[in-house]
Structure 1
């Protein structure tokens, strides 16, 4: 089966099954992330309080934990939820937003990795920093290339037994069996807040149906970046791009997936 056929098959099943995706994500992107999941064909559940989130992780089909806006209570909730997801066999995705040089998120990221996320999704600097090296990041922006993060991604994948998706001009998905790349996308994706965070939620939506975590990360990356290209062709700037991206995610299918480049 070709890459595009594999992605199309997973996307069709996702839309048929409507996975319930729990998101503990940052306050800047909550609404956009929920709308991306709905456009894709999934059902978002923004259950993020300490009492309910760990329980809900056993009900959800997939879980996203995004470190974008942290405090001590949220950090505790994330660790409890990740542990509960692991105990229930629910695939969960870690997005280590801005890890590297900020003490709270560095500690939380380090505590979450041993809980074995199915997929870690971040930019190159975040992945390098999470692996224990100095990533040289600048907040949520990456100053390292995806190629530079290859060794760090491989190390993290070995530690978790899952996959690591490194976002950049060419996206890389790394696991114990090797590396897959996606060369689709557009610079406009960096002009709208929450696009990368939404990708983490999309990975969690694909994860219940993929044979491997890397397959889920690859499918989500392919669908989002192809949809972004379609959206960019119809948009006049960041504002209309955000709207067009939701529309493109809603309509992307086998015909559009023929655009997949590696």
Structure 2
């Protein structure tokens, strides 16, 4: 171990903040947040809880806005390491769960490579929580025996895509699409081309868990156009599968 690493007295805590409603943060996550010296956050975390922090806690915004201002991941990694090397307890607050499409794994590796102590406090993942809030169970006896969570940040024909859409279309599992607003039309078109029945129920939930939450119903063939017509913007989650058809039933009595 280097002398520099031995001198480190700070640490980084990767906190999953849940789908957006501060009330859905874990107790451990909140405790870590209020015990921090510095919080590194972005727009997808439960930002309302930041208003409760003591004035002594420094907040660094490294927000990533689609098609807008974005802090490179390498810079975020540098900030985490630099702040910890100053002897500070650094909470990296992220939306959902840090290790599901949150690039928390990259931040974890960057910290360990620099000799910075790091620990993870898992969060409630939006992939399951947001559909549930819209009356869509990820699995349901007789309808779905599994769930596939996929990233839609690149379209199916992009060389960066590693997904087998044919296998997904035939899987018989619930499909949960994250970061897929922009590419939803291309993704659903590919699923249909690969054999997914056009009448497969689908639901899109925008701003899940927040007062501005919106729910759109459709099918695999219509959900993309419905989202476009409604002007849906990120963050939003789309669920495709038989369980999506339960949404109206399960939310009928909700107030």
TM over 0.5: no
Larger Rg: 2
Q: TM-score, normalization: structure 2?
A: 0.28
TM-score (norm 1): 0.28
* Bigger strand share: 2
| Structure ranking higher in helix proportion | 1
